[in-house]
Amino acid sequence: MNLSFKTVALIGKYKTPAIAEPLLRLAAFLAEKGVAVVVDSLTAEHLGQHPYRVLSLEQMQGEVDLAVVMGGDGTMLNIARTLAPFGIPLVGVNQGRLGFLTDLSLESMKRSLTDMLRGEFVTEQRMLLSVHVVRNGTEVCRALAFNEMVVHRSNIDSMIECEVRIDGDYLYTQRADGLIVSTPTGSTAYALSAGGPIIHPALDVIALVPVCPHTLSNRPIVVSGGSRIEILMHRTGEVHVRFDSHSHFDLQLNDRLVVARHADMVQLLHPAGHSYYHTLREKLLWNKFA
């Protein structure tokens, strides 16, 4: 077989011993196909004895042609932020129900990966957000978000108040429980539950979605993916900025958040014939009737 990917990394859900059996089964299958298998160093801690090379995520740059992430969408979010700057394409295998990002099942993974090794797959480029927090003229936090960046309160008795500018133009001063800045990928996550629009992942746009705004006329807005979004904190108590639910940073009065499209993109691979609309129907139960 003329392989499209000669070295494949296998990455499992963090601190999940149950991932060992299916991951080692997949590793043996790939090795039989002539693929050089690499295992993520944190994943390897749960595998016991095995013959495969072990690398950290940071060591995979230039060493790996493809990464297979076994877990769920949350696992994929975390791995994608780390590997995107290395240009390593990602395939997701979901242990449970198929996700928006992890669309291979344990039952179908061998068949689908065999086709992918032959070059039969669909490639998607997904946006990342770069977020900088500036305090008194000094950058105090820098992070990436694949789904969304969220400014939110932790004290139920108070709202956040922030001023928002797009490319230097004043948009509004928002009073709300929170404000979501979402990629198209994140439009089916927290932004969707807050009333935001579903955005096809091929679109180069960013959505701003208020969470329980004080004024009902404050609605979600979609701006160009090349926009520079600035959020100035006018009122804070216990207010945080959160990135993909994986990390957060405490905000203070007059902190300025700068959000923009990151230079690197996440490369996702799907089986040939993949349809985003099919995924929407399945995940959002649009094909179900009462």
One pLDDT digit (tens) per residue for the chain, 290 residues: 567 899 999 999 888 888 899 999 999 999 999 999 999 999 999 898 999 999 999 999 999 999 999 998 999 999 999 999 999 999 999 976 668 999 899 999 999 999 999 999 999 999 999 999 999 999 999 999 999 999 998 776 678 999 999 999 999 999 999 999 999 999 999 999 999 999 999 999 999 999 999 888 889 999 999 999 999 999 767 899 999 988 899 999 999 999 999 999 999 999 999 999 999 998 888 877 65
What confidence score (pLDDT) does residue 252 get? 93
Question: What CATH number was assigned to the domain covering residues 7-127+265-283?
Answer: 3.40.50.10330
Please identify which of the residues 40, 65, 73, 177 carries the catalytic annotation.
73
Structural element, H or E, at residue 247? strand 247-250
Q: Which residues contact 270 (CB under 8 A, 6 or more apart)?
A: 91, 103, 121, 122, 123, 124
Which letter does DSSP use for residue 207 in this model? E
Distance CA 193, CA 64 (A): 36
What confidence score (pLDDT) does residue 289 get? 64
Contact yes or no for 147/186 (Cβ under 8 A): yes
CATH architecture of 129-261: Sandwich (2.60)
Contact yes or no for 13/7 (Cβ under 8 A): no
pTM of the model: 0.93
What confidence score (pLDDT) does residue 286 get? 87
Residue boundaries of the structural domains of the chain = 7-127+265-283, 129-261
What confidence score (pLDDT) does residue 87 get? 95
If one counts every other C-beta atom within 10 angstroms of the C-beta of residue 39, the result is 22
What confidence score (pLDDT) does residue 2 get? 62
What confidence score (pLDDT) does residue 1 get? 56
Task: Look up 65 and say whether it is catalytic.
Answer: no
What confidence score (pLDDT) does residue 159 get? 86
